[in-house]
Amino acid sequence: MKTDTRALAARGLAEVALRGASLRDVMERHAPRLADPRDRALLMALLSEGARWWLRFDAAIDGLLEKPLRHKDPAIHALLVLGLVQLEILELQDYASVAATVEATRALQRPQLTGLVNAVLRRWQREREGLLAKLDAKPQTRHAHPAWLAAALQRDWPEQVDAVMAADNREPPLMLRVNRQRSSREVLIEQLHAAGHRAEAHSWLGDALVMPHSTDVTRLPGFEDGLFAVQDGAAQVAADLADLRDGLRVLDACAAPGGKACHLLERADIDLTALEFDPERAERIRQNLMRLRLNAKLAIGDAGAPKGWWKGQPFDRILIDAPCSATGVLRRRPDVRLHRRESDIAAMQAQQRRILSALWPLLAPGGRLLYITCSVLRTENEAIVSELLANQPDAQAVAFTLPAGHAASVGWQILPGDDDLDGMYYAVLQKRF
Protein backbone atom coordinates (compact mmCIF):
# COMPACT_ATOMS: atom_id res chain seq x y z
CA MET A 1 0.00 0.00 0.00
CA LYS A 2 1.36 3.42 -1.00
CA THR A 3 2.30 5.74 1.88
CA ASP A 4 0.20 8.92 1.98
CA THR A 5 2.65 11.84 1.73
CA ARG A 6 0.47 14.35 3.58
CA ALA A 7 -0.26 11.93 6.41
CA LEU A 8 3.46 11.25 6.75
CA ALA A 9 4.16 15.00 6.75
CA ALA A 10 1.49 15.56 9.43
CA ARG A 11 3.05 12.97 11.72
CA GLY A 12 6.49 14.45 11.13
CA LEU A 13 5.39 18.05 11.67
CA ALA A 14 3.66 17.11 14.92
CA GLU A 15 6.97 15.62 16.11
CA VAL A 16 8.85 18.79 15.20
CA ALA A 17 6.38 21.40 16.43
CA LEU A 18 4.84 19.68 19.43
CA ARG A 19 7.52 17.26 20.64
CA GLY A 20 10.71 19.18 19.88
CA ALA A 21 12.13 16.81 17.27
CA SER A 22 14.75 18.08 14.80
CA LEU A 23 13.36 18.86 11.35
CA ARG A 24 16.46 17.36 9.73
CA ASP A 25 16.10 14.13 11.72
CA VAL A 26 12.41 13.82 10.85
CA MET A 27 13.13 14.39 7.16
CA GLU A 28 15.92 11.82 7.14
CA ARG A 29 13.70 9.29 8.91
CA HIS A 30 10.55 9.75 6.82
CA ALA A 31 11.80 10.53 3.30
CA PRO A 32 13.07 6.99 2.55
CA ARG A 33 9.52 5.69 3.00
CA LEU A 34 8.50 7.40 -0.25
CA ALA A 35 9.70 5.77 -3.47
CA ASP A 36 8.67 8.54 -5.90
CA PRO A 37 11.05 11.55 -5.94
CA ARG A 38 8.03 13.85 -6.46
CA ASP A 39 6.46 12.54 -3.26
CA ARG A 40 9.75 13.08 -1.40
CA ALA A 41 9.94 16.65 -2.73
CA LEU A 42 6.37 17.31 -1.56
CA LEU A 43 7.17 15.85 1.86
CA MET A 44 10.23 18.10 2.21
CA ALA A 45 8.21 21.15 1.16
CA LEU A 46 5.38 20.37 3.56
CA LEU A 47 7.70 19.75 6.51
CA SER A 48 9.91 22.75 5.83
CA GLU A 49 7.09 25.23 5.19
CA GLY A 50 4.98 23.68 7.94
CA ALA A 51 7.76 24.40 10.45
CA ARG A 52 8.43 27.84 8.96
CA TRP A 53 4.79 28.96 9.16
CA TRP A 54 3.63 26.96 12.19
CA LEU A 55 3.42 30.00 14.46
CA ARG A 56 1.06 31.66 11.97
CA PHE A 57 -1.31 28.83 11.14
CA ASP A 58 -1.20 26.98 14.46
CA ALA A 59 -2.88 30.04 15.98
CA ALA A 60 -5.42 30.14 13.15
CA ILE A 61 -6.53 26.53 13.64
CA ASP A 62 -7.62 27.17 17.23
CA GLY A 63 -10.03 29.80 16.00
CA LEU A 64 -11.56 27.37 13.52
CA LEU A 65 -12.26 24.59 16.04
CA GLU A 66 -14.74 24.38 18.88
CA LYS A 67 -12.28 22.27 20.88
CA PRO A 68 -8.52 22.32 20.22
CA LEU A 69 -6.92 19.13 18.89
CA ARG A 70 -3.29 20.07 19.49
CA HIS A 71 -2.78 17.71 22.44
CA LYS A 72 -5.68 15.31 21.96
CA ASP A 73 -4.80 14.50 18.32
CA PRO A 74 -1.51 16.20 17.36
CA ALA A 75 -1.25 14.58 13.91
CA ILE A 76 -4.68 15.88 12.88
CA HIS A 77 -3.87 19.33 14.25
CA ALA A 78 -0.64 19.30 12.22
CA LEU A 79 -2.55 18.09 9.17
CA LEU A 80 -4.89 21.10 9.46
CA VAL A 81 -1.87 23.42 9.68
CA LEU A 82 -0.51 21.75 6.54
CA GLY A 83 -3.86 22.25 4.84
CA LEU A 84 -3.50 26.01 5.30
CA VAL A 85 0.18 25.86 4.27
CA GLN A 86 -0.86 24.21 0.99
CA LEU A 87 -3.52 26.85 0.33
CA GLU A 88 -1.57 29.94 1.39
CA ILE A 89 2.16 29.21 1.03
CA LEU A 90 2.66 26.43 -1.50
CA GLU A 91 -0.33 27.76 -3.49
CA LEU A 92 -1.39 24.31 -4.58
CA GLN A 93 -4.71 23.96 -6.35
CA ASP A 94 -7.45 24.59 -3.77
CA TYR A 95 -9.78 21.73 -4.62
CA ALA A 96 -6.99 19.15 -4.93
CA SER A 97 -5.31 20.31 -1.70
CA VAL A 98 -8.49 20.08 0.33
CA ALA A 99 -9.44 16.69 -1.14
CA ALA A 100 -5.94 15.26 -0.57
CA THR A 101 -5.83 16.58 3.00
CA VAL A 102 -9.21 15.00 3.78
CA GLU A 103 -7.94 11.73 2.29
CA ALA A 104 -4.85 11.97 4.52
CA THR A 105 -7.20 11.98 7.51
CA ARG A 106 -8.19 8.43 6.54
CA ALA A 107 -4.54 7.47 6.10
CA LEU A 108 -3.99 8.67 9.68
CA GLN A 109 -6.73 6.20 10.67
CA ARG A 110 -9.12 8.98 11.73
CA PRO A 111 -11.98 8.46 9.22
CA GLN A 112 -14.45 9.88 11.75
CA LEU A 113 -12.68 13.26 11.45
CA THR A 114 -12.82 13.64 7.66
CA GLY A 115 -15.93 15.82 7.92
CA LEU A 116 -14.25 18.05 10.50
CA VAL A 117 -11.09 18.49 8.42
CA ASN A 118 -13.13 19.28 5.32
CA ALA A 119 -15.29 21.79 7.23
CA VAL A 120 -12.29 23.61 8.74
CA LEU A 121 -10.56 24.03 5.39
CA ARG A 122 -13.78 25.12 3.66
CA ARG A 123 -14.42 27.67 6.40
CA TRP A 124 -10.91 29.02 5.98
CA GLN A 125 -11.58 29.50 2.27
CA ARG A 126 -14.87 31.30 2.95
CA GLU A 127 -13.53 33.59 5.70
CA ARG A 128 -9.98 33.88 4.42
CA GLU A 129 -9.63 37.67 4.23
CA GLY A 130 -10.88 38.32 7.74
CA LEU A 131 -8.85 35.48 9.24
CA LEU A 132 -5.64 36.63 7.53
CA ALA A 133 -6.22 40.19 8.73
CA LYS A 134 -6.48 38.93 12.30
CA LEU A 135 -3.19 37.01 11.92
CA ASP A 136 -1.48 40.02 10.36
CA ALA A 137 -2.34 42.20 13.36
CA LYS A 138 0.48 40.73 15.51
CA PRO A 139 4.17 40.41 14.57
CA GLN A 140 4.29 36.84 15.92
CA THR A 141 1.55 35.56 13.62
CA ARG A 142 2.25 37.98 10.77
CA HIS A 143 5.84 36.83 10.39
CA ALA A 144 5.62 33.44 12.17
CA HIS A 145 8.35 34.38 14.66
CA PRO A 146 8.15 33.79 18.42
CA ALA A 147 7.12 36.94 20.27
CA TRP A 148 10.40 37.13 22.22
CA LEU A 149 12.47 37.04 19.02
CA ALA A 150 10.29 39.61 17.25
CA ALA A 151 10.83 41.89 20.26
CA ALA A 152 14.59 41.24 20.30
CA LEU A 153 14.89 42.05 16.59
CA GLN A 154 12.89 45.23 17.11
CA ARG A 155 15.27 46.21 19.92
CA ASP A 156 18.53 45.34 18.13
CA TRP A 157 17.65 46.15 14.51
CA PRO A 158 14.67 48.54 14.53
CA GLU A 159 15.22 49.76 10.97
CA GLN A 160 15.74 46.26 9.52
CA VAL A 161 13.34 44.17 11.62
CA ASP A 162 10.64 43.68 8.98
CA ALA A 163 13.19 42.90 6.25
CA VAL A 164 14.91 40.34 8.50
CA MET A 165 11.71 38.48 9.33
CA ALA A 166 10.61 38.58 5.69
CA ALA A 167 13.98 37.12 4.64
CA ASP A 168 13.59 34.34 7.24
CA ASN A 169 10.40 33.30 5.44
CA ARG A 170 11.81 33.13 1.90
CA GLU A 171 13.35 30.08 0.27
CA PRO A 172 17.12 30.59 0.34
CA PRO A 173 19.21 29.96 -2.75
CA LEU A 174 21.51 26.95 -2.92
CA MET A 175 25.08 28.18 -2.56
CA LEU A 176 28.13 26.11 -3.40
CA ARG A 177 31.82 26.66 -2.64
CA VAL A 178 34.27 25.50 -5.26
CA ASN A 179 37.22 23.50 -3.95
CA ARG A 180 40.18 25.52 -5.26
CA GLN A 181 42.47 22.55 -4.73
CA ARG A 182 40.58 20.49 -7.31
CA SER A 183 38.79 22.83 -9.72
CA SER A 184 37.89 26.43 -10.50
CA ARG A 185 34.60 28.25 -10.29
CA GLU A 186 34.47 28.80 -14.05
CA VAL A 187 34.99 25.09 -14.79
CA LEU A 188 32.38 24.04 -12.24
CA ILE A 189 29.81 26.47 -13.64
CA GLU A 190 30.42 25.07 -17.13
CA GLN A 191 29.91 21.52 -15.84
CA LEU A 192 26.67 22.48 -14.11
CA HIS A 193 25.36 24.28 -17.20
CA ALA A 194 26.21 21.28 -19.36
CA ALA A 195 24.14 19.10 -17.02
CA GLY A 196 21.18 21.47 -17.31
CA HIS A 197 21.58 23.36 -14.01
CA ARG A 198 21.44 27.13 -13.60
CA ALA A 199 24.41 28.50 -11.66
CA GLU A 200 26.26 31.79 -11.54
CA ALA A 201 29.27 33.24 -9.76
CA HIS A 202 28.60 35.27 -6.63
CA SER A 203 29.31 38.95 -7.15
CA TRP A 204 31.94 39.41 -4.41
CA LEU A 205 32.74 36.05 -2.83
CA GLY A 206 35.64 34.47 -4.69
CA ASP A 207 34.70 30.81 -4.26
CA ALA A 208 30.89 31.01 -4.18
CA LEU A 209 28.37 30.19 -6.85
CA VAL A 210 24.62 30.46 -6.59
CA MET A 211 21.85 28.16 -7.78
CA PRO A 212 18.24 29.41 -7.55
CA HIS A 213 16.66 26.36 -5.89
CA SER A 214 17.57 23.45 -3.67
CA THR A 215 18.35 20.17 -5.37
CA ASP A 216 19.92 16.82 -4.53
CA VAL A 217 23.55 17.97 -4.50
CA THR A 218 24.84 14.40 -4.46
CA ARG A 219 23.60 14.10 -8.05
CA LEU A 220 25.37 17.24 -9.26
CA PRO A 221 28.49 16.79 -11.42
CA GLY A 222 31.65 16.94 -9.34
CA PHE A 223 30.13 16.04 -5.98
CA GLU A 224 31.72 12.58 -5.68
CA ASP A 225 35.03 14.00 -6.90
CA GLY A 226 35.08 16.64 -4.19
CA LEU A 227 34.97 19.59 -6.56
CA PHE A 228 32.61 21.58 -4.32
CA ALA A 229 30.82 21.79 -0.99
CA VAL A 230 27.48 23.27 0.01
CA GLN A 231 28.01 26.41 2.10
CA ASP A 232 26.12 29.68 2.37
CA GLY A 233 28.06 32.72 1.25
CA ALA A 234 27.99 34.33 4.70
CA ALA A 235 29.94 31.36 6.07
CA GLN A 236 32.46 31.66 3.22
CA VAL A 237 33.52 35.09 4.50
CA ALA A 238 35.60 33.40 7.22
CA ALA A 239 38.37 32.34 4.85
CA ASP A 240 38.81 35.93 3.63
CA LEU A 241 39.02 37.35 7.15
CA ALA A 242 41.49 34.69 8.32
CA ASP A 243 44.34 36.31 6.32
CA LEU A 244 45.95 32.93 5.60
CA ARG A 245 49.34 32.04 4.22
CA ASP A 246 51.16 28.74 3.88
CA GLY A 247 52.69 27.24 7.01
CA LEU A 248 50.40 28.76 9.63
CA ARG A 249 49.15 26.73 12.59
CA VAL A 250 45.37 27.06 12.67
CA LEU A 251 42.71 25.93 15.15
CA ASP A 252 39.09 25.62 14.09
CA ALA A 253 37.21 25.28 17.38
CA CYS A 254 33.63 23.96 17.40
CA ALA A 255 34.42 22.78 13.88
CA ALA A 256 31.55 20.45 12.91
CA PRO A 257 30.38 19.85 10.26
CA GLY A 258 33.67 21.16 8.90
CA GLY A 259 32.65 23.65 6.23
CA LYS A 260 34.87 26.49 7.38
CA ALA A 261 37.79 24.16 8.21
CA CYS A 262 37.68 22.71 4.71
CA HIS A 263 37.49 26.16 3.15
CA LEU A 264 40.60 27.25 5.06
CA LEU A 265 42.45 24.15 3.85
CA GLU A 266 41.39 24.87 0.27
CA ARG A 267 42.87 28.37 0.55
CA ALA A 268 46.37 27.65 1.89
CA ASP A 269 48.81 24.90 2.89
CA ILE A 270 48.23 25.16 6.64
CA ASP A 271 48.58 22.91 9.68
CA LEU A 272 44.95 22.81 10.81
CA THR A 273 43.43 21.22 13.90
CA ALA A 274 39.66 20.74 13.74
CA LEU A 275 38.26 20.51 17.27
CA GLU A 276 34.81 19.13 18.07
CA PHE A 277 33.20 18.15 21.35
CA ASP A 278 30.70 15.62 19.94
CA PRO A 279 32.29 12.47 18.44
CA GLU A 280 29.33 11.90 16.10
CA ARG A 281 29.59 15.43 14.72
CA ALA A 282 33.36 15.00 14.42
CA GLU A 283 32.68 12.06 12.11
CA ARG A 284 30.92 14.47 9.74
CA ILE A 285 34.10 16.58 9.63
CA ARG A 286 36.11 13.48 8.72
CA GLN A 287 33.67 12.57 5.95
CA ASN A 288 33.81 16.06 4.46
CA LEU A 289 37.61 16.09 4.58
CA MET A 290 37.72 12.72 2.81
CA ARG A 291 35.30 13.72 0.05
CA LEU A 292 37.14 17.00 -0.60
CA ARG A 293 40.56 15.25 -0.43
CA LEU A 294 41.84 17.49 2.37
CA ASN A 295 43.97 16.75 5.43
CA ALA A 296 43.61 18.03 8.98
CA LYS A 297 44.16 16.86 12.54
CA LEU A 298 40.87 15.90 14.16
CA ALA A 299 40.62 16.40 17.91
CA ILE A 300 37.74 15.50 20.21
CA GLY A 301 37.47 17.87 23.13
CA ASP A 302 35.89 20.84 24.84
CA ALA A 303 36.94 24.18 23.34
CA GLY A 304 36.40 25.75 26.76
CA ALA A 305 38.82 23.34 28.49
CA PRO A 306 42.05 23.21 26.40
CA LYS A 307 44.00 21.17 29.00
CA GLY A 308 42.27 18.05 27.71
CA TRP A 309 43.54 18.34 24.12
CA TRP A 310 46.05 21.19 23.65
CA LYS A 311 49.69 20.19 23.19
CA GLY A 312 51.13 23.54 24.30
CA GLN A 313 52.11 25.07 20.96
CA PRO A 314 50.36 28.38 20.18
CA PHE A 315 48.20 28.84 17.10
CA ASP A 316 48.71 31.60 14.52
CA ARG A 317 45.01 31.66 13.71
CA ILE A 318 42.01 30.59 15.81
CA LEU A 319 38.51 30.40 14.40
CA ILE A 320 35.66 30.17 16.92
CA ASP A 321 32.31 29.41 15.32
CA ALA A 322 30.62 29.74 18.69
CA PRO A 323 27.52 27.82 19.76
CA CYS A 324 24.66 30.32 19.55
CA SER A 325 20.93 30.86 19.14
CA ALA A 326 21.08 30.26 15.35
CA THR A 327 18.72 33.21 14.90
CA GLY A 328 20.56 34.18 11.71
CA VAL A 329 19.77 30.96 9.85
CA LEU A 330 16.01 30.58 10.35
CA ARG A 331 15.45 30.50 6.59
CA ARG A 332 17.55 27.32 6.36
CA ARG A 333 16.57 25.90 9.75
CA PRO A 334 12.93 26.92 10.21
CA ASP A 335 12.42 24.63 13.20
CA VAL A 336 14.82 26.74 15.30
CA ARG A 337 12.05 29.31 15.75
CA LEU A 338 9.90 26.60 17.35
CA HIS A 339 12.56 25.23 19.68
CA ARG A 340 14.63 28.23 20.77
CA ARG A 341 13.54 30.01 23.95
CA GLU A 342 14.48 33.44 25.26
CA SER A 343 15.77 31.71 28.39
CA ASP A 344 18.35 29.85 26.23
CA ILE A 345 20.29 33.03 25.48
CA ALA A 346 21.94 33.42 28.88
CA ALA A 347 23.29 29.86 28.70
CA MET A 348 24.58 30.55 25.16
CA GLN A 349 26.35 33.69 26.41
CA ALA A 350 28.00 31.75 29.22
CA GLN A 351 29.31 29.20 26.70
CA GLN A 352 30.56 31.92 24.38
CA ARG A 353 32.42 33.72 27.18
CA ARG A 354 33.91 30.46 28.44
CA ILE A 355 35.21 29.36 25.04
CA LEU A 356 36.52 32.77 23.99
CA SER A 357 38.39 33.37 27.26
CA ALA A 358 39.79 29.80 27.29
CA LEU A 359 41.14 29.98 23.73
CA TRP A 360 42.58 33.50 23.78
CA PRO A 361 45.74 32.36 25.65
CA LEU A 362 46.36 29.75 22.90
CA LEU A 363 46.82 32.48 20.27
CA ALA A 364 50.40 33.39 19.38
CA PRO A 365 51.49 37.05 19.64
CA GLY A 366 50.60 38.76 16.38
CA GLY A 367 48.04 36.04 15.70
CA ARG A 368 44.46 36.56 14.63
CA LEU A 369 41.27 35.18 16.23
CA LEU A 370 37.94 35.12 14.38
CA TYR A 371 34.84 35.07 16.54
CA ILE A 372 31.80 34.04 14.52
CA THR A 373 28.16 33.30 15.28
CA CYS A 374 25.10 32.66 13.14
CA SER A 375 23.13 34.89 15.52
CA VAL A 376 21.61 38.32 14.92
CA LEU A 377 21.38 39.15 18.64
CA ARG A 378 23.84 41.77 19.87
CA THR A 379 24.05 40.10 23.29
CA GLU A 380 25.72 37.08 21.67
CA ASN A 381 27.91 39.08 19.35
CA GLU A 382 29.58 42.43 19.99
CA ALA A 383 28.66 42.29 23.68
CA ILE A 384 30.73 39.10 24.13
CA VAL A 385 33.67 40.43 22.10
CA SER A 386 33.61 43.78 23.91
CA GLU A 387 33.93 41.95 27.24
CA LEU A 388 37.05 40.14 26.05
CA LEU A 389 38.58 43.38 24.76
CA ALA A 390 37.93 45.01 28.13
CA ASN A 391 39.50 42.11 30.03
CA GLN A 392 42.51 41.35 27.81
CA PRO A 393 45.02 44.22 27.47
CA ASP A 394 46.82 42.36 24.64
CA ALA A 395 43.67 42.10 22.50
CA GLN A 396 42.78 44.62 19.82
CA ALA A 397 39.96 44.62 17.30
CA VAL A 398 40.82 44.62 13.61
CA ALA A 399 38.56 46.96 11.66
CA PHE A 400 37.10 45.73 8.37
CA THR A 401 34.08 46.20 6.15
CA LEU A 402 32.20 43.81 3.87
CA PRO A 403 30.20 44.55 0.71
CA ALA A 404 27.01 43.45 2.51
CA GLY A 405 25.77 43.92 6.05
CA HIS A 406 26.16 46.44 8.82
CA ALA A 407 28.95 47.73 11.03
CA ALA A 408 28.57 46.66 14.66
CA SER A 409 30.16 48.43 17.62
CA VAL A 410 32.85 45.75 17.24
CA GLY A 411 32.97 43.63 14.09
CA TRP A 412 30.40 43.24 11.34
CA GLN A 413 26.86 41.83 11.13
CA ILE A 414 25.33 40.32 8.01
CA LEU A 415 21.58 40.14 8.53
CA PRO A 416 19.38 37.48 6.90
CA GLY A 417 18.63 38.57 3.36
CA ASP A 418 21.53 41.02 3.04
CA ASP A 419 22.72 40.23 -0.50
CA ASP A 420 20.55 37.09 -0.11
CA LEU A 421 22.91 35.67 2.53
CA ASP A 422 22.31 34.03 5.89
CA GLY A 423 22.68 36.08 9.06
CA MET A 424 26.18 35.91 10.51
CA TYR A 425 28.36 37.97 12.83
CA TYR A 426 32.14 38.35 12.54
CA ALA A 427 34.75 39.93 14.76
CA VAL A 428 38.49 39.81 14.11
CA LEU A 429 40.83 40.17 17.08
CA GLN A 430 44.62 40.43 16.98
CA LYS A 431 47.02 39.70 19.83
CA ARG A 432 49.57 42.44 20.41
CA PHE A 433 53.25 41.46 20.45
Active-site residues, by number, are 374
Distance CA 50, CA 88 (A): 11
Distance CA 279, CA 287 (A): 13
Q: Which long-range contacts (CB under 8 A, 24 or more apart) does 349-353 make?
A: 349/379, 349/380, 349/383, 349/384, 351/304, 351/322, 351/323, 352/322, 352/323, 352/324, 352/380, 352/384, 353/384, 353/387
Contact of 249 with 314, CB cutoff 8 Å: yes
Contact of 184 with 221, CB cutoff 8 Å: no
DSSP codes joined into one string, 157-192: -TTTHHHHHHHHTSPPPEEEEE-TTT--HHHHHHHH
SS3 content of the chain, % helix, strand, coil (to 5): 50, 15, 35
Q: Which of 162, 171, 57 is nearest to 120 (CA)?
A: 57
| Secondary structure tally for the chain: helices H, strands E | 18, 13
* 127 CB-near residues (< 8 Å, 6+ apart): none
Please, what is the end-to-end C-alpha distance for the chain in angstroms?
71
